[in-house]
Amino acid sequence: MRLALTIAGSDSGGGAGIQADLKTFSAHGVFGMSVITSVTAQNTKAVIGVEDVSPEMVYLQIKAVFEDLPPDAVKIGMVSSESIIRSVARGLDEFGPEKVVLDPVMISKSGHALLKPNAVEALKKELLPRCLVVTPNIPEAEALSGMSIKGVEDMKRAAERIMSYGCRAVVVKGGHLEGDALDVFFNGREFRELKSEKICTRNTHGTGCTFSSAVAANLALGYDLFTSVRLAKEYITVAIKNSLNIGGGVGPVHHFYELYRRSGLNV
């Protein structure tokens, strides 16, 4: 059995964060473990409360997992504050996982800040250099690169700038732009575009969390980095096509092992 760890925030509504990550791991047949960084009171309409876990408790969860159940890959999501970022960096340094996927979560689709504005610099300095791949959406790529992004050429320039912080690859996700759902992968040598038709639905809660945890699950299964990203793109596309019209706001994507299996992918 392959093992994957998510270090992220809890979404009480079950659509994003830790809950989306564990569902994604299960759908891939990977054993999922979690380090909870924050508890959010959230549903499809809004985030109505956020309470951070103490930095020491974040570190202790990492230690407990690594000392007994060393993961084959790690996904990092909401890390909220500078002190939590430092605890995660401490854990990564102590236990040295090779396959780390960072989804630099900043703002929920419902508009709530999930990363303190003064923590962006810590994220760049402390976490990017410790990651294999970073998966920002357009606003996150703009914040990390300091440039505005209007199309695919801008996505490529932003990916180059983000690489300069020391990660080994970047996927700039284009779900927030008009037109096709086009993501740009860059590994420092070549750019590759991953394109799918934009699915017409408002139910896209948890897309970023699901995509990054699918990348981590595929890495845990032993796929190379680009194959892991390509399979994750296929997985998120199926999950959005089957997203759920539940709740009064932005409904969640759907994780369903059978859907994945029947789509012909090797799990």
Ligand X SMILES: Nc1ncnc2c1ncn2[C@@H]1O[C@H](COP(=O)(O)OP(=O)(O)O)[C@@H](O)[C@H]1O
Ligand Y SMILES: Cc1ncc(COP(=O)(O)OP(=O)(O)O)c(N)n1
Which residues are known to be catalytic?
173, 204, 206-209
52 CB neighbour count, 10 Å cutoff? 20
Residue 29 or 175 having the CB closest to ligand X: 175
From ligand X, ligand Y, none, interface partner of 184 (C-beta below 5 to 8 A by class): none
By CB under 6 A, name the one of 4, 6, 7, 11 that touches ligand Y: 11
From ligand X, ligand Y, none, interface partner of 185 (C-beta below 5 to 8 A by class): none
Gap between the Cα atoms of 191 and 185, Å rounded: 6
Q: Where are the beta strands (DSSP E) in 103-232?
A: 133-134, 170-172, 181-186, 191-196
By CB under 6 A, is residue 242 in contact with ligand X? no
From ligand Y, ligand X, none, interface partner of 78 (C-beta below 5 to 8 A by class): ligand Y
By CB under 6 A, name the one of 16, 138, 219, 236 that touches ligand Y: 16
From ligand X, ligand Y, none, interface partner of 255 (C-beta below 5 to 8 A by class): none
C-alpha distances (whole Å) from 48 to each of 10, 19, 43, 224, 241 are: 13, 17, 8, 39, 28
By CB under 6 A, is residue 75 in contact with ligand Y? no
Gap between the Cα atoms of 147 and 109, Å rounded: 21
By CB under 6 A, is residue 205 in contact with ligand Y? yes
70 CB neighbour count, 10 Å cutoff? 12
Gap between the Cα atoms of 115 and 26, Å rounded: 27
In angstroms, how far apart are the furthest CA atoms of the chain? 46
Gap between the Cα atoms of 183 and 226, Å rounded: 12
Q: Which two tokens stand for residue 227?
A: 């194959």
By CB under 6 A, is residue 88 in contact with ligand Y? no
Beta bridge partners of 107: 113
By CB under 6 A, is residue 236 in contact with ligand X? yes
By CB under 6 A, is residue 37 in contact with ligand Y? no
By CB under 6 A, name the one of 4, 6, 7, 9 that touches ligand Y: 9
The answer to whether 5 touches 74, Cβ cutoff 8 Å, is yes
By CB under 6 A, is residue 196 in contact with ligand X? yes
By CB under 6 A, is residue 174 in contact with ligand X? yes
Q: Which of residues 104-123 bind ligand Y (CB under 6 A)?
A: 105, 108-109, 114
Q: Which chain residues interact with ligand Y by CB under 6 A? A: 8-9, 11, 16-17, 40, 42, 77-78, 105, 108-109, 114, 205-209
Q: Which chain residues interact with ligand X by CB under 6 A? A: 137, 173-176, 181, 183, 196, 198-199, 204, 207-208, 211, 233, 236-237, 240
